[in-house]
Amino acid sequence: MKGDLAMQNQRQLFAQNLRRRRTELHMSQVKLAEKISYTGKAVSKWESGLVLPPAEVLPSIANALDTDLNTLFDFREKASYFLGIDGGGTKTKFMLTDDGGNILKAVSLGPCNPVSTGLDISVNILREGIKKVCGNIPHGKISVFAGIAGCGVGQNAASIEASFKYMGFSRFKVSHDADNIISAALENRDGIIAILGTGSVIFAVEGGERRQIGGYGHLIGDVFSGTEFGRACLESVLYDIDTGSKHTAMTSAVLEKAAKPISEIVADIYKNGKDYIAGFAEILFECAKKGDTAALEILGRNTEKLADMLNCALGSFCEGHEKVPVVLAGGITNYSSCFLPALNQKTLSGRKSSVTVLDKDPVIGAVLLAGAKKVEEK
């Protein structure tokens, strides 16, 4: 009696998963039947829960539905593989490790930010990358964490998770890409992470609690970001031109890069927005390296602001945290030689800490969040 009930439950579970996966792929019963050389009537019986397919046809069904038998029968195992995904604005990185932390495979594909690419393209990029790195490994053995730009907005994270719900992964979690950076930088420790890219934000992490400082967008709150440095660079150059001030090297470099009349440069700024503006940050840093006075003044002013914000973050830590790690990440850190010594002087007063630059790929943070205890970097 108990055996009959267990078999009935198994048939119903298989039927439910078969139907959900087929409809998820927008595939008719007839189309599935054609793929496995069966009849639509047979597929209908399987989806009704009356009978299970013959054992020999089960692998063909799983292959036709781009899934595995563990998923169709809902057999879940303890994860022994960990897949981390870092989805940024320009590329998406995938890294798969085993339970010993050994990197089995890593690939990079195009961007998957659902805000800029759209949800469908984002999901397709993720599917492609997962297939490339996971191969024939049963999904039930894989735990996945995907930190993706744009997944802190609206229902994007939930929508992507729903798209992979019936693929049978041991775990499939989607969050914002900042989580990858925090994980890679702090590895479950208390500390401070400043993400300095096109935009910027600072997080103070203590006892599992996360406090955000800044990160209010390029219009009002992206201190020490590419957009802020690009904007300040362009503002300085346009002021020099308008007032007839002596041109510095930064003015000449901007005019050379744009290769357009001022009126067209301004039109491009408003047409192309923050990413275009952030592209001029590189000029500012290169000119600062060469001692350009205008570039150095802008850099010094912004270093003061960043130091103030880091000191504010440090002040939020409880007594007993003598050495709080402070880590910088993001594209701006490519120019850390221009500002790191001054930043260390202005920050961490009375603390035995120092500001450092993240030396790990954020995708490693995603692997750790997937559940890996460590990652053996090659």
CA dihedral 127, 150, 227, 211 (to 10 degrees): -130
Question: Is residue 347's pLDDT more than 90?
Answer: no
Q: How many CA atoms, within 13 angstroms, populate the side-chain half-sphere of residue 118?
A: 3
- 96-155, pLDDT tens digit by residue? 999 999 999 999 999 999 988 899 999 999 999 999 999 999 998 999 999 998 898 789
Find out whether 226 and 331 touch, Cβ atoms under 8 Å. yes
Query: How many CB atoms neighbour CB 344 within 10 A?
Result: 15
Q: What does the pLDDT read at residue 132?
A: 96
**DSSP class of 58:** H
CB 367 within 8 A of CB 97: yes
pLDDT value at residue 66: 82
Sheet holding 200-206, edge to edge: 209-213, 200-206, 191-196, 326-329, 355-357
pLDDT for the residue numbered 23:
73
Higher pLDDT, 6 or 297: 297
pLDDT in tens, 73-93: 866 567 899 999 999 878 999
88 versus 240: which is more confidently predicted? 240
Say whether 189-347 and 81-176+364-370 share the same fold.
yes
Quote the mean pLDDT of the chain. Answer: 89
Inter-residue contact 215 to 201 (CB < 8 Å): yes
DSSP 159: H
The model scores a pTM over 0.95: no
Q: What angle do CA 310, 209, 169 make, to 5 degrees?
A: 120
Task: Say whether 207 sits in a helix, a strand or coil.
Answer: coil
Distance, CA of 324 to CA of 341 (rounded, Å): 18
Give the residue-averaged pLDDT of 288-308: 95
How confident is the model over 243-255, as a mean pLDDT?
A: 88
Which whole-number Å values give the CA distances from 6 to 13, 52, 282, in the listed order? 10, 13, 65
Per cent of the chain over pLDDT 90 is 58
Sign, CA dihedral 191-226-365-341, equals negative
**Residue partners of 144: CB distance under 8 A and separation at least 6:** 82, 83, 84, 85, 130, 164, 169, 171, 172, 173, 370
User: For 81-176+364-370, CATH number?
Assistant: 3.30.420.40
How many Cβ atoms sit within 10 Å of the Cβ of residue 164? Answer: 19
Measured CA to CA, the distance from residue 131 to residue 134 in angstroms comes to 5
pLDDT band, very low/low/confident/very high, at 221 (cuts 50, 70, 90): confident
pLDDT at 372: 92
Was domain 189-347 assigned CATH 3.30.700.30? no
What is the band of 378 on the pLDDT scale with cuts at 50, 70, 90?
low
Confidence at 1, pLDDT banded by 50, 70, 90: very low
Q: Per-domain residue ranges for the chain? A: 2-73, 81-176+364-370, 189-347
CATH classification number, 2-73, choose in 1.10.260.40, 2.40.30.10, 3.60.130.10, 3.40.1010.10: 1.10.260.40
CA distances 306 to 223, 263, 326, 346, Å, are 7, 33, 12, 9
